[in-house]
Amino acid sequence: MMAESQEKKVGIVSCSGEGCVEGTISRVATRLVLEKLRPNETVTICLPLFLAGGKEEREFARDYPTITVDGCNKMCAKVATERYSAKPASSIIITALTRDWGCPKLGSRRKLNDEALAVAGKVAGRIAEEVDEVLKRWV
Amino acid sequence: MKASPKKVIVIPCSGIGKAFGSISRDVTFEVTENLRKETTQTLCLALLVSGDQESLQLVRDNKCITVDGCPLQCAEKNVKYAGGKLAGSFRVVDVYRENRHLKLRSVTFLDADGQKMALAVAERIGKRVDELLRDE
Domains located in chain B, CATH noted:
8-129 (3.40.50)
The boundaries of the domain holding residue A75 are 16-127
Across chain A, mean pLDDT equals 93
Nearest-Cα residue of chain A relative to residue B48: A76
* CA atoms A118, B13, B5, B61: torsion sign: negative
Using DSSP, state whether B66 is helix, strand or coil. strand
Instruction: Render pLDDT for A38-62 as a digit per residue (tens, 0 to 9).
Output: 999 999 999 999 999 999 999 999 9
ipTM: 0.90
Instruction: Render pLDDT for B27-45 as a digit per residue (tens, 0 to 9).
Output: 999 999 999 999 999 999 9
B44 close to A (CB below 8 A) = yes
Instruction: Render pLDDT for A102-129 as a digit per residue (tens, 0 to 9).
Output: 977 898 999 999 999 999 999 999 999 9
Let me know if residue A62 belongs to a domain.
yes
Which residues contact residue A107 at a Cβ distance below 8 angstroms, ignoring those fewer than 6 apart? A21, A113, A115, A116
Confidence of residue B5 (pLDDT cuts 50, 70, 90): low
> Model pTM?
0.93
- Give the count of domains, chain A: 1
B112 close to A (CB below 8 A) = no
pLDDT reported for residue B64: 98
Whether residues A110 and B29 touch (CB distance < 8 A) is answered with: yes
HSE-up of residue A91 (Cα within 13 Å, Cβ side): 20
pLDDT reported for residue A3: 52
Across chain B, mean pLDDT equals 94
d(C-alpha B24, C-alpha B68), whole Å: 6
Is the Cβ–Cβ distance between A98 and A106 less than 8 Å?
A: yes
Using DSSP, state whether B53 is helix, strand or coil. helix
Chain length of chain B: 136
d(C-alpha B80, C-alpha B95), whole Å: 23
pLDDT at residue B3 greater than cutoff 60? no
Let me know if residue A57 belongs to a domain.
yes
Instruction: Tell which residue, A9, A81, A87, has the closest CA to residue A51.
Output: A81
| Residues of A contacting chain B (CB within 8 angstroms) | 1, 14-19, 23, 27-28, 30-32, 35, 44, 46-49, 51-54, 74, 76-77, 79-80, 109-110
Let me know if residue A59 belongs to a domain.
yes
